[in-house]
Every structure is written in C-alpha cells, then in structure tokens.
Amino acid sequence: MRWVGCAMALSLGILLAACRFIPTDQVSAIGAAGGTNGAAARDPDQMVASMWAAKVVPYFEKRAGPFLAVRDLAAKSPDEAGAKWGYRAKSEDTPWTLMVRIEGTIVAAETESRAGSIGVDASGRGKVDATVQIGPAMGGAAIRDALDFVSFGDFTNQIDFARFGKAFNTYVYHNTLEKLPRADIVGRKVTLIGAYALDSSGQPPLVTPVEITIGPKP
Amino acid sequence: MKVCYALVGALLASAAFIGTASAADLIAVITPSHDNPFFKAEAEGAEARAKALGYDVISLVHDDDANKQSQLFDTAIARGAKAIVLDNAGADATVAAVKKAKDAGIPSFLIDREINASGIALAQIVSNNYQGAQLGGQEFVKLMGEKGAFVELVGKESDTNAGVRSKGYHDVIDEYPDLKMVARQSANWDQTEAYSKMETILQANPGIKGVISGNDTMAMGAEAALVAAGRKDVIVVGFDGSNDVRDSILKGGIKATVLQPAYREAQLAVEQADAFIKTKAAPKTEKQLMDCVLINGANAAKLETFELKP
C-alpha cells in the first residue's frame, strides 16, 4: 500500500511537471547552460520529461544496434563497438555505454526483489543473454551515459549530475516499466531498446530499457 | 598590476632557485592530512609521477582547513610553482584560492574533490563518487537481504564527497522500504571517532544488522567497535578501497568497499600539468569523472594501494 501511494504521488508529480511550460530553447540549451546557475530551470525530472520524446527516444532508435552483434563485437573490440553503437565521455578509463535492440524470450524473472529484472534469451539457446532492469529499484545511469548531448561539465557537481541520471530511470519506470505484467512472464516474447555500460564482469549485460514490450502468454 | 607583481615575485623566486642544486620546475601537491591512507596514496602518486617527469615537488597538507589551504597557496605562489595539484578543503571555500593562483599564472589541477565553479581550475579529476556509492549501496542491500535495521556513518560535512556518497547510498537503499535506518551520524572520516560513535549507537540500537560507512577509516572504526561488542554478525560496507579494509575483507570482517582509483587520478593530474607546462595544452575537458569499482571477497586480493592489479 505504501508503495502504491508513493507511486501515485510520483505519477501525480510527473503529470504536474508535464503541465509546466518549458521553452524549447531552454531544453536544447542543456548543453550550453552554465555550470553554476540556472537552478530553477534544472529540475531533473522536468528536464528528462521535456527531452524524452523529442530527443532521447529518437536518438536511441537511431543509434541502437542488434544486441548479439553489439555484444560480440564489444567482446572483441570495445572501441569499435562503442564507436558504432555507443558513447562515452572523453575522459580516460570511462567505460562505453552501448545501445541495443533486443528481441527474445523471457527465460528468468526476478520479481520478488525490488530490484526487479528479467533474463532474456536472445540467441535461442534457452540461457540468459541479457538481464533487463524492470524496477522499481533501478541502478546505474545507463540512459544518461548513452547520450552524446549530455555532459558532466554542464552540471554544478556530481549530485546534480546524479539526480539527472536517476531521473531517467524514474521516468522510464513510471511511464513504461510500471505497466508491464509481472506474473507469469517467463516464456513470453519481449522486444526492447535500451542501454548498458560495458564491463569486464563476464556476466550477461545489465540493460536499462528505454522502450519495452512484453508479448502475450504463449 | 597585481599580475606584474606576481610575475616579479615568481621571477625572484625562480632566480633564488638557480643557485640551488636543482633547477627543475616545481609542482606543489596540496592534500588533506596523510593520517588517512587515501590522501597519503594520492600525495605519493602525484609525487612519484612528478619526480619521474623531472620535477621538484613540495607536498603540503591543509588538514581540511580552508584558511590554512589559502596560506599554502601563498607559499606555492611565492615558491614559483609551475602547477598545483590539489585535493581541496571545501567546494566553495576553495574557489578563491584557486583563482588567486590562476591570477598569478599558476594552473591548478584538482583531484578527488570538486569545487562548485568551472573555468578556474584547468582540471577536476574526480572519482565518480555517486556511481561508486550506488555500487556499495547495491552490495549492501544484497548483503542485508533487502531488509533490517541499519546505521549510516557519514563523512566530514565540509567535504562535498560526504554528501555525494550519502546521496548515492540513499538513492539505492531508500527504494527498499524494509531497510530501516535507525541512526545516521557523522564521524568526520575518522577511525577513532567512528569507534566511539558506533559503541554508543550500538547500545541504543542493539538490533542493527548493518552499517554503511562513507569511507574506509570509519568502517574500520565501526568494525572494531562491533567486534569488541561481540557483534561479528553485523554487516559493514565501506568506501575508498584501502589496504586495511582489503585485509579485513580477506579475513571475513568488513564485507565490501568501493575502490576509488586515487593513485591513478593523482598521476593523471601530474601528467596533465606536465603537458600544460611543456606545451600550454590544457586538458580537453576540465571535469573528468573516473569510475569506481566494487571490492568484495571476489576481488579483494588484487587490491594494492588504491589500485586493482590485473
């Protein structure tokens, strides 16, 4: 019950935020705005809501590559895969964030934990090729880090930058993931576009979805 | 005019150096107290790289005192340093000092902590504390089984990273309503203070299951207090990736920490200072974030002086 109330309050907040008028020049100026001022215009949820449909989704649709091809090239040559389907801020040691389209079957589901996820078989082997976060608790900032028009240098400090990163997760949860079915989903088809940070853990990548559809029961 | 005086001062200072054995350029390294091994590693990383590149080095500590830091900047300026590598004493209070050096023609290369202004320092190379705190927070949640009472030990208020890490922890942990924070106190990054605070907290809250700490020295203090009270069952997670915590993890004490690539950051700052001194080439971006790595039983053995060995 507590969660439902919380979710309702949050959705209401997003609705209210969405009603506010944001001039488009201000939205596109996110890369140009000074680092130390403009606090009023920099509510992170509002920033994300205003750029989502106009900039974020089209960017992902254009840049995302077929998952298996991305994964396999990234294993051999991260820089090649990154240049083709990814982005990273230009400082040393920053991992690539890769953008992918996944089509597959749900072969595992973690819906007990609040860090909910589904395991997707994209190669037909019956094993998990990618783990996809479905919330409500979501980690990382893969969506923010995939965007080539967003830079840490445009934010006053790490906290502002972090809030902005988290706002993407909150947005996609309340607008998409929250509405996904949770019960009886193993065996169903899933298609999604999302992003993951390349790491060397050897585990299936942890993908944060931007758009996702779960099919009907087979 | 001010600039002229500063230049004259710098010229006099360098003239004074000509008479000495070494005519090498000077790099000033200014950090918090070396009592904390993290800052010691950072200072040593910068010093080693600078010496390898042929510089003289003065290594100074500001003890997290902004006034003292300002005096150390005066010293660096008067000594004619060609660059300052700085782990600063406050995100707002430091802006004036860095600007003073800039006006005197001396570039600052910041490591570890940010300042709340851009365009004054040539580089701000900082660990992605928020990303690291999320890693630590997620590991903590997992270790706790997503439920139970816990305590947070927070770092020094004046240090921007204390707030960033706390925010990173809470952005993860607060999504789990069954995890209940029963106490949250600052122990100022200090081991002894963390020990005594933990003792008191434990008396008031014997039911705690975990402690999440803003850094490793406080985690060490808390762990010692828990062991002394016979509470080895309490889960402790730290932040920094110190050798002390590595050893504790390997012995089954502290459960996890987050490695900041401190040694590498310090070296990188010196390399960027060197490039600027030799070619006037400023780093491409001022604000540079370096990712942190989760350290637990699986990889602790590879950790040595704030670096993960292959």
CATH number assigned to the domain comprising residue B249: 3.40.50.2300
Q: Which residue has the higher pLDDT, B32 or A10?
A: B32
Neighbours of A198 (CB within 10 A): 19
B306 phi, psi to nearest 5 deg: 60, 30
Residue B290 dihedral angles phi and psi, to the nearest 5°: -115, 130
Q: Which pLDDT score is estimated for A22?
A: 40
Higher local confidence (pLDDT), B164 or A19: B164
Find the range with the poorest average confidence among A3-12, A90-99, A135-144, B170-179: A3-12
pLDDT at A1: 43
Question: Is B162 among the domain residues?
Answer: yes
State whether B268 and A92 contact (CB < 8 Å).
yes
Regarding whether B89 and B31 lie in a shared domain, the answer is yes
- Pick B284's closest partner by Cβ from A90, A93, A95: A90
Is B175 a domain residue?
A: yes
Is residue B209 within 8 Å of residue B235, measured between CB atoms? yes
Q: Which residue has the tokens 């994964």?
A: A71
pLDDT digits (tens, 9 = 90+) for A9-65: 444 444 444 343 443 333 333 433 333 334 444 799 999 999 999 999 999 999 999
Q: Do residues B71 and B115 both lie within one domain?
A: yes
State mean pLDDT over B146-167: 93
pTM: 0.78
The whole-angstrom distance between A153's CA and the closest CA on chain B is 6
Nearest CB among B116, B130, B131 relative to A36 is that of: B116
Q: Determine which of A4, A90, A91 to mutate to test the interface with B (most B C-beta atoms within 10 Å).
A: A91
Asked whether residue B21 is assigned to any structural domain, the reply reads yes
Write the pLDDT tens digit of every residue in B75-92.
999 999 999 999 999 989
- Position B279 scores a pLDDT of 95
Distance CA B248, CA B265 (A): 25
**pLDDT of B13:** 46
What CA–CA distances, in Å, run from A189 to A119, A186, B232? 11, 9, 46
Q: How far apart are CA B125 and CA B248, in angstroms?
A: 29
How confident is the prediction for chain A on average, in pLDDT?
A: 84
Mean pLDDT in chain B?
Answer: 91
Give A-chain residues touching B171 at CB under 8 angstroms: 162, 166
Give the pLDDT band (50/70/90) at residue B154. Answer: very high
Measured on CA atoms in the order A71, A74, A76, A81, is the torsion positive or negative? Answer: positive
Same domain, B101 and B177: no
Strands A86-87 and A97-110, bridge-based pairing: antiparallel
Query: What pLDDT is attached to residue B78?
Result: 97
**Among the listed residues B42, B38, B93, the one whose alpha carbon sits nearest the alpha carbon of residue B68:** B93
B182-205: pLDDT as tens digits: 999 999 999 999 999 999 999 999
Which of B130, B140, B165 to substitute to test the interface with A, most A CBs within 10 Å?
B130
- A143 at the B interface (CB within 8 A)? no
Helix, strand and coil content of chain A, in percent to the nearest 5, comes to 45, 20, 35
Nearest-angstrom CA–CA distance, B34 and B36: 5
B239/B267 same-domain check? no
The H-or-E segment that residue B304 falls in is strand B303-304
Q: What pLDDT score does A37 carry?
A: 39
Of A161 and B239, the structure prediction assigns the larger pLDDT to B239
A158/B130 touch (CB, cutoff 8 Å), yes or no: yes
Question: Both B56 and B155 in a single domain?
Answer: no
Range of weakest confidence among A151-165, A182-196, B52-66, B168-182: A151-165
Residue B228 and residue B272 in one domain: no
- For residue B306, being part of any structural domain is answered with no
In percent, the amount of chain B with pLDDT more than 90 equals 82
Residues B145 and B158 in one domain: yes
Q: Are residues B200 and B52 in the same domain?
A: no
| Any domain includes B297 | no
The reported pLDDT for the residue numbered A32 is 35
How high is the pLDDT of residue B158?
83
Determine what percent of chain A is predicted with pLDDT higher than 70. Answer: 79
A156/B134 touch (CB, cutoff 8 Å), yes or no: no
The proportion of chain B whose per-residue pLDDT surpasses 70, expressed as a percent, equals: 93
Residue B267 has pLDDT above 90, yes or no: yes
Q: Would you state the pLDDT for residue A95?
A: 85
Same domain, B110 and B200: no
Residue A90 has pLDDT above 70, yes or no: no
**Could you tell me if residue B296 is inside a domain?**
no
Which contiguous run of DSSP H or E holds residue A5?
A: helix A2-19
- Fold of the A2-214 domain: OB fold (Dihydrolipoamide Acetyltransferase, E2P) (2.40.50)
Q: How far is CA B93 from CA A192, B16, B88, B103, B116, in A?
A: 47, 32, 9, 17, 9
Number of structural domains in chain B:
2
Residues 6+ apart with CB under 8 A from A72: none
> Under an 8 A CB cutoff, do A136 and B175 touch?
yes
Residues B52 and B39 both lie in one domain: yes
In A, which residues are within 8 Å of B131 by CB distance? 140-141
pLDDT for residue A25: 37
**Are B161 and B245 contained in the same domain?**
yes
- B109: containing domain: 2-126+262-289
Higher pLDDT, B142 or A91: B142
Average pLDDT over residues A177-190: 96
Determine, for residues A140 and B134 on separate chains, whether the beta-carbon distance falls below 8 Å: yes
Chain B residues within an 8 Å CB radius of A153: 118, 285-287
Question: 3-class SS at A180?
Answer: coil
Instruction: Report the SS3 class of residue A72.
Output: helix
A162 closest CB neighbour out of B119, B130, B291: B130
Residue B256 has what DSSP assignment? B
- In tens, the pLDDT along A145-181 reads 999 999 888 888 888 898 999 999 999 999 999 999 9
Q: How far is B167 from chain A (nearest CA, A)?
A: 8
Answer yes or no: do A157 and B114 touch at CB < 8 A.
Answer: yes
How far is the C-alpha of B283 from the C-alpha of B305, rounded, in Å?
Answer: 26
Same domain flag for B154 and B97: no
Q: Please check the confidence at residue A68 and state whether its pLDDT lies above 50.
A: yes
C-alpha to C-alpha distance for B174 and B141, rounded to whole angstroms: 10
| Model pLDDT, residue A18 | 39
How much is the pLDDT for A30?
41
* pLDDT, tens digit (0-9, with 9 covering 90-100), for B100-147: 999 999 999 999 998 989 999 999 999 999 999 999 999 999 999 999
In a domain, residue B304? The reply is no
ipTM: 0.72
Average pLDDT for residues B28-44, to the nearest whole number?
94
What share of chain A has pLDDT > 90, as a percent?
A: 67
